[in-house]
Amino acid sequence: MADRSEANRLQQETAFQKILRRPEIGSFVVMIIIIAALAIASDGKAFNPLGLKNNIAIIAQYGIIATGAAVLMIAGEFDLSIGSMIGFAGMSMAMMLKWGLPFGLGEATPAAAFFITLAMTLGIGWVIGMIVVRSGLSSFIVTLAFLFFLRGVTEVCFRLINQSTQISGLQDFKLESWFADIMGGEVFGWFYDIWFALGGNLNRNGEQWVHGFDARFFWWIVIAGVSYFVLSRTQIGNWIYATGDNKEAARANGVPVDKVKVGLFMFTAFCATMFAACQVYDTNTSDAAKGNLMELFAIAIAVVGGTLMTGGFGSILGVVFGAITVGLVANAVFFIPAIDGAWFRVFLGGILLAAVFANERIRKRITGGI
């Protein structure tokens, strides 16, 4: 009788009540508030042509790694090595671009540097996943170990090969390589062209001010779009949710739990590599410190977006809203100089704690209090 009454209650819900049960509703409301507040406080500067481009750049880079972290968290695991993987991948690509391919195989092209690096990072992701599923150890501890390991390897390699923890002054490969251009160039120029045609997007000389978004915006859309499709429209998505909800029950029902988890650790490694590639080919530099603390931002954004720490619950749409919220607040200091940058951490801590409580209430509302 209880199950029947619960089913009847769900059927009688209004459209508004159904919206309130969505896991991303909290992050959407906060995002709207932040957008309105920033627009007013910055006198519109945060959303002028250049402001919009700069905001989208930081939002996209957060969004890329947060998507990988969120999908893994839905499956009930964590990856604290994301930030160190970014530094490792950036170092690998930059060194090959500067010193050539390994084993004296010749000069490295941007595409070769990327795909060799991707092969290494995917391999590391596979190793992390295999250790987690074969040993039964907590992914928190395993990936924490790799956080230190990869950061140390990155610094050692920089000092040993480059005699410095930074590589700067690489040639601008975007000028001669289509691959470097799609990673570090500009995209969606038509948007700013239309803005200019409508009488906006003008500099002081009446010329077009901004010509496109950073390429990482395109890759964020691709990664988030594919992840959304997989989670909501495929059997693999069902496997991911089932694994995070109850892995033993999922395994009993034929879900390849171990393969799902290993594949998702490789996916977070892929996201970290894409993040690093966009940075290297955009700025023509690399630094051993790149990606520092990014794993915490990725997890925080996933939680703000409605992903439960315990797994089995979350949505990519919520992660998009969370990335926009955190990215806008992180960049707010550039548009509102009176704000101390340290307030960003205060805000992030407060909203993260609020999100944890809100997510749990939404989960109970959806599951009927289970």
Q: For residue 91, which phi and psi values (nearest 5 degrees)?
A: -60, -45
Q: How far is CA 185 from the centre of its chain?
A: 19
**How far is the C-alpha of 101 from the C-alpha of 193, rounded, in Å?**
40
CA dihedral 118, 122, 123, 125 (to 10 degrees): 140
pLDDT value of residue 10:
47
Domain-by-domain residue ranges, the chain?
25-367
Residue with token string 């509703």: 25
Percent of the chain with pLDDT over 70: 89
Contact assessment for residue 173 and residue 203, using Cβ atoms and an 8 Å cutoff: no
**How far is the C-alpha of 71 from the C-alpha of 244, rounded, in Å?**
10
CATH of the domain spanning 25-367: 1.10.3470
pLDDT value of residue 168:
86
On the CB side of 285, CA atoms within 13 Å amount to: 10
pLDDT value of residue 357:
75
**How far is the C-alpha of 138 from the C-alpha of 144, rounded, in Å?**
10
Residues making up the chain, counted from first to last: 370
pLDDT value of residue 341:
67
| Cross-strand bridge partners of residue 213 | 187
Q: For residue 214, which phi and psi values (nearest 5 degrees)?
A: -65, 145
pLDDT value of residue 363:
62
Name the packing angle between helices 215-233 and 235-245 (round to 10°).
80
Q: For residue 167, which phi and psi values (nearest 5 degrees)?
A: -125, 120
Amino acid symbol at 336: I
Q: Where are the beta strands (DSSP E) in the chain?
A: 166-167, 186-187, 213-214, 286-287
Q: Given phi > 0 = left and psi -120 to 50 = alpha, else beta, which region is 166?
A: beta
pLDDT value of residue 306:
85
Spans of the chain, pLDDT less than 70: 1-21, 23, 103-104, 338, 341, 359-370
How, if at all, do strands 213-214 and 286-287 pair?
Answer: unpaired
pLDDT tens, position by position, 96-153? 999 888 766 778 899 999 999 999 999 999 999 999 999 999 999 999 999 999 999 9
Reading the block at residue 265, the tokens are: 């650790």
Residue with token string 């797994």: 311
Q: Given phi > 0 = left and psi -120 to 50 = alpha, else beta, which region is 367?
A: alpha
pLDDT value of residue 261:
97
